[in-house]
């Protein structure tokens, strides 16, 4: 896979990076309790679930809105990023790129779509829809085991000097992700996945940093993605929880036109 310095078109790099983003990663939380060495995969997720939501606030969240920046220094890309997620399974994301315009992606609970100046409006493929559907589901924030077809141990590794225990998650949509949790702090440090895009599957590694509480739920405020030989850094300057207008998640007219018989 070419890097930005090996001639890959800028439009493909940006579009692939945007489509590889997962709302699961964007709104990922962290466990405050330790995932002890030797814990089973189910125990690791159970501890994560209890620690991310110690006061039982997650079930009361009606929506989450985030505002921040996306930087891809090697590609010379800087963008403004806004995302929102509404219970039970709706999401929308807008990336504004100077000189290129807006790239939008959404899921109204049934239809996943995207629209950008390079490719125009599009209803996403089944594989692309799966990753958005999984991430848009509020249950994914707490790693509800009902979302997975299988949960397996994926060994251990060292990340920034921290020992981690990793779990392989096969979602019921057949997506597979591998998540690594700090053995000492319980923090979700890394997620590895293959994300569908018009260019084929994109291997993506996401690292999570800077955890802060939002309405009683711990959420990452900085993520670094590695994909297609490029590094993408997302920094959330604002994360707010509260009710969101249902109209925000309605299909745009250009997408409705694509669905019309």
Domain boundaries, the chain: 4-233
Distance of CA 61 to the CA centre of its chain: 18
Calpha distance 218→221 (Å, rounded): 10
Residue 49's pLDDT is what?
A: 82
- 165-212 pLDDT per residue, tens: 899 999 999 999 999 988 877 778 899 998 877 767 889 999 999 989
Is domain 4-233 given the CATH code 2.50.20 in the classification?
yes
What integer best gives the mean pLDDT of the chain? 84
Residue 21's pLDDT is what?
A: 55
- 49-78 pLDDT per residue, tens: 877 888 899 999 999 999 999 998 888 889
pLDDT above 70: residue 24 = no
Residue with tokens 């299988």: 150
Tell which residue, 31, 42, 77, has the closest CA to residue 189. Answer: 31
Among 38-52, 82-96, 151-165, the range of highest mean pLDDT: 82-96
Least confident of 123-127, 144-148, 195-199: 195-199
Which tokens go with 80? Answer: 């403004």
Strand partners, 222: 209, 235
Query: Which tops the pLDDT comparison, 33 or 128?
Result: 128
- Residue range 209-236: mean pLDDT, rounded: 92
Neighbour tally for 114: CB within 10 Å: 22
């Amino acid at each position: 896979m070419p890097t930005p310095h090996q001639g890959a078109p800028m439009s493909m790099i940006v579009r692939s990076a945007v489509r590889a983003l997962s709302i699961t990663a964007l709104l990922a939380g962290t466990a405050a309790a330790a995932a002890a060495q030797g814990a089973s995969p189910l125990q690791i997720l159970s501890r994560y679930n209890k620690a991310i939501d110690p006061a039982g606030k997650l079930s009361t969240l009606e929506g989450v809105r985030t505002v921040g920046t996306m930087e891809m220094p090697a590609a010379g890309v800087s963008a403004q990023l806004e995302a929102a997620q509404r219970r039970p399974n709706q999401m929308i994301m807008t990336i504004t790129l100077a000189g290129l315009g807006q790239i939008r992606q959404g899921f109204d609970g049934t239809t996943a779509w995207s629209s950008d100046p390079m490719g125009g409006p599009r209803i996403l493929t089944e594989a692309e829809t799966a990753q958005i559907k999984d991430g848009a589901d509020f249950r994914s924030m707490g790693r509800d085991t009902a979302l997975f077809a299988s949960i397996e141990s994926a060994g251990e590794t060292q990340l920034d000097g921290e020992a981690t225990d990793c779990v392989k998650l096969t979602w019921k949509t057949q997506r597979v992700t591998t998540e690594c949790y700090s053995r000492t702090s319980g923090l979700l440090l890394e997620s590895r996945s293959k994300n569908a895009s018009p260019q084929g599957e994109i291997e993506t590694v996401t690292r999570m940093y800077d955890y802060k509480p939002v309405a009683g739920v711990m959420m990452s405020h900085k993520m670094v993605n590695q994909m297609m030989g490029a590094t993408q850094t997302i920094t959330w300057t604002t994360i707010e929880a509260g009710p969101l207008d249902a109209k925000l998640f309605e299909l745009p007219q250009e997408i409705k036109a694509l669905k019309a018989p």
